[in-house]
Amino acid sequence: DAGVIQSPRHEVTEMGQEVTLRCKPISGHDYLFWYRQTMMRGLELLIYFNNNVPIDDSGMPEDRFSAKMPNASFSTLKIQPSEPRDSAVYFCASKLRMNTEAFFGQGTRLTVV
């Protein structure tokens, strides 16, 4: 397996624009996580899915953020409208089961200007 695949690797956008980040988890993994990493706050969980169903979205900062998982092999994280404070690295991770280690994608570095 190629591991967790995220796209794009880098995204630069203007404030107010919509941004969509994409993730393909490892095949057969039941859990998918979206994290955001900044220098100030470290690695924060935004939302996670189990078998394509959102389980906990309490980490989503506000209504501008939304995530979907239409099938077992694809998830998106959307920010609309984007703001400069959303600039961060966004990681997607997947797990085989809840009590196993997480495998991270290479991340998307988002810059909102």
Partner 1 sequence: GQNIDQPTEMTATEGAIVQINCTYQTSGFNGLFWYQQHAGEAPTFLSYNVLDGLEEKGRFSSFLSRSKGYSYLLLKELQMKDSASYLCAVRYYGGSQGNLIFGKGTKLSVKP
Return residues touching partner 1 (CB under 8 A): 4, 31, 33, 35, 41-45, 48, 55-56, 58-59, 91, 98-99, 101-107
Q: State which residue, 5 or 81, has the beta carbon closest to partner 1.
A: 5
- Closest approach of partner 1 to the CB of residue 88, in Å: 13
Indicate the pairing of strand 10-13 with strand 108-112.
Answer: parallel
Q: State which residue, 41 or 71, has the beta carbon closest to partner 1.
A: 41
Distance CA 92, CA 36 (A): 9
CB 41 within 8 A of CB 20: no
- Closest approach of partner 1 to the CB of residue 16, in Å: 28
**DSSP-derived secondary structure letter, 57:** -
- Closest approach of partner 1 to the CB of residue 49, in Å: 10
Residue 106 Rama label (left phi>0; alpha psi -120 to 50; beta): alpha
Q: State which residue, 71 or 99, has the beta carbon closest to partner 1.
A: 99
